[in-house]
Chain A
């Protein structure tokens, strides 16, 4: 009989493989803030833009929602995380900016400096 500690470690390994199965190891991971405050600032529209792009064939991207990181006056926020590079955090993202993040950053690797939270 495994101990609870052994069991939870097994559960963790399973969870990790499930996340990887969903594409976690894709080149780019995109997180969209989806707490009440972010949604009020318009993050649902932003999420939709990303979801549409993925469903229309944007590949090698792992898309996820996230809670609020606490950057109220710059919401909605979006992070683009890539192995070996500094995580890029965008603020005040709207539909148009989301589209540009897809075109310029995700597809062409350009960090759009003027929207980055510093």
Chain B
């Protein structure tokens, strides 16, 4: 039996078509990985393997000290410290004879790159690095056994067994992890502040109130791997001396709620939550609180009020929640993504985590990539990846051959960055310097068809609507800004409007009570800064170059019209006239610019002018 199996395996291995991934991270490139790729191609050609072996490039695989790295699939064999002399051997021994080369193989037991065993050979995924989403799409999120089998809850056990709370905080601080909710406060420092408070009980809160339009990082993380959050929170509880955790999640995420609830129940049944966890003296349990879906409740003080049963409104800080939070007790609040990093830091080590990312921003960041990009999706890339790499390498570029116009990061609190910022590396400081923010991870790609004034209006309409009304700058200021923007898009803009928007925006930024108000003018200010000429065109020439502002566009029927009458039948105000088989015309006085004729015409005979 054994013999037959072995024979069988040899047969399948030699007949396999291989996929080789070469690490294309900066460190590996510096060590000559691109030369290796070229050499590999030559060797494959020589052995006649070129047509059934594919070579792919990956983003940083996170083992830079062992570079250049190469992964051979199937089998997920990782080769490290590969030299030019090794290439012929790899091709001959591994690819031809099916014998991996033991001396080059790297044994690794990192948590983070398990994802790549399944997904690493697809271009879209290969260029990413998955720490927080490491199990998403790999395991059954509703089966605790799947999580346990991948070293689940080992980080918690390790912390309880081998580390003092102080050491856990040291490790988190040393890793350089910063809050992933948007502001980027150093996580270790936050933990230390909460730990040194004497008052009890203390609370640990997971902020899963994800409200940015178009963002779904937290939902996917919880739906794909809820136990990571539970484990991270328990470690946080151990570190600061808390026995009570709260997950604050919006009721609009029923499946995520179901899965995190099941995860908590299963963990309890296994003695991983509750009294005396794993036989130790540490006790910790988690309850779920549902939010009603107000954007402002993602702000930590508003979130606390909401959990307490009060209206979700922010209050001035200090005191910070670490000193006086939930029920006026010390409270440690972190975002979903931040919590998901914690088990990895404890198991893979702060020293390793510290090697990923840039000088000031460590680790990875998850983005919900959306808008005018070929591959929309949830991505996780190392800090320091440029916007260009995200849009063109991971995202696959702009569809339909359209031109890139801008990228909006940070959702309604962020800014729009035009082409000259495409080489900005993703980290908290670089994005702020460019005039946007990291935010929680919304990323919208905008092509030439979008009007930047209209875009700013859209985002401001959202924040204005979500303003809680407590402070005047946000309540009144955003309203006035929105009125001006609406008037500009309607062709009623007045000279001086741009300056008024800037003055209002800067005042609100400085004087609003909470993050929502302080960041609300960002989309407007950044589009004025980068696309001022579009504002000017709207105001002075009553023109919208993207032809997106309805009031500034009119429709005309061109000579391509064959007189089919489709537009005439669909027009809701009977503004189109014409007899069959002859060119139709639009009565501009009657036309309400709904665009239905434009969308209906099969002959591209209707033009926006």
- Using a CB–CB distance below 8 Å, which chain A residues touch chain B? 1-5, 7-9, 11-12, 15-16, 18-19, 31, 33, 35-37, 39, 64-73, 77, 79, 81, 84-87, 89, 117-118
Segment 16-50 of B: residues with Cβ below 8 Å from A = 16, 19
Closest to B73 in A: A86
Count of B interface residues, CB-CB < 8 Å: 63
Complex interface: chain B residues within 8 A of A37 (CB): 216, 220
Bound complex: CA A87 to CA B154 (Å): 27
| Pairwise interchain contact A87-B117, C-beta atoms closer than 8 A | yes
Contacting residue for A19 out of B138, B149, B153, B380, CB 8 A: B149
Q: Give B398-421 as 1s and 0s: 1 = Cβ < 8 Å from A's Cβ atoms.
A: 000000000000000000000000
Stretch at the interface among B155-163, B175-183, B587-595: B155-163
Bound complex: CA A77 to CA B138 (Å): 12
| Pairwise interchain contact B117-A7, C-beta atoms closer than 8 A | no
Complex interface: chain B residues within 8 A of A12 (CB): 148-149, 151-152, 154
Write the nearest CB–CB distance from B283 to chain A, whole angstroms: 13
Closest to A111 in B: B17
Asked if B337 lies at the interface with its beta carbon under 8 angstroms from chain A, I say no
| Pairwise interchain contact B136-A70, C-beta atoms closer than 8 A | yes
Complex interface: chain A residues within 8 A of B223 (CB): 35-36, 67-68
- Using a CB–CB distance below 8 Å, which chain B residues touch chain A? 9, 12-13, 16, 19, 73-75, 117-119, 121-125, 133, 135-146, 148-149, 151-154, 156-158, 160-162, 216, 219-220, 223-225, 253, 255-256, 270, 277-280, 370, 374-380
Bound complex: CA A89 to CA B126 (Å): 13
| Pairwise interchain contact A5-B162, C-beta atoms closer than 8 A | yes
Write the nearest CB–CB distance from A80 to chain B, whole angstroms: 11
| Pairwise interchain contact A4-B376, C-beta atoms closer than 8 A | no
Between-chain CB contacts (< 8 Å), 5 pairs: A12-B149, A66-B141, A67-B136, A72-B376, A85-B16
Complex interface: chain B residues within 8 A of A87 (CB): 74, 117-119, 121
Contacting residue for B13 out of A7, A11, A72, A84, CB 8 A: A84
Closest to B19 in A: A86
| Pairwise interchain contact B255-A35, C-beta atoms closer than 8 A | yes
* Known interface pairs A66-B137, A68-B224, A86-B73; A8-B279 also in contact (CB < 8 Å): no
Complex interface: chain B residues within 8 A of A36 (CB): 219, 223, 253, 255-256
Contacting residue for B160 out of A1, A4, A67, A89, CB 8 A: A4
Complex interface: chain A residues within 8 A of B139 (CB): 66-67
| Pairwise interchain contact B13-A67, C-beta atoms closer than 8 A | no
* Known interface pairs A85-B16, A86-B74; A4-B121 also in contact (CB < 8 Å): no
| Pairwise interchain contact A8-B216, C-beta atoms closer than 8 A | no
Closest to A36 in B: B255
| Pairwise interchain contact B157-A8, C-beta atoms closer than 8 A | yes
| Pairwise interchain contact B376-A73, C-beta atoms closer than 8 A | yes
| Pairwise interchain contact A67-B377, C-beta atoms closer than 8 A | no
* Known interface pairs A7-B278, A36-B256, A84-B75; A67-B122 also in contact (CB < 8 Å): no
Contacting residue for A33 out of B137, B145, B146, B279, CB 8 A: B137
* Given A12-B152, A86-B121, 15 new contacts (CB under 8 A): A1-B279, A4-B156, A8-B157, A15-B144, A19-B149, A66-B141, A67-B224, A69-B119, A69-B138, A70-B220, A70-B380, A71-B124, A71-B377, A87-B117, A89-B122
Bound complex: CA A85 to CA B180 (Å): 37
Closest to A4 in B: B278
Write the nearest CB–CB distance from A84 to chain B, whole angstroms: 6
Bound complex: CA A81 to CA B117 (Å): 10
| Pairwise interchain contact A66-B279, C-beta atoms closer than 8 A | no
Closest to A87 in B: B118
* Known interface pairs A5-B157, A36-B219, A66-B137; A19-B146 also in contact (CB < 8 Å): yes
Bound complex: CA A19 to CA B249 (Å): 30
A39, A70, A81: which has the most chain B beta carbons within 10 Å?
A70
* Known interface pairs A12-B151, A19-B145; A69-B125 also in contact (CB < 8 Å): yes
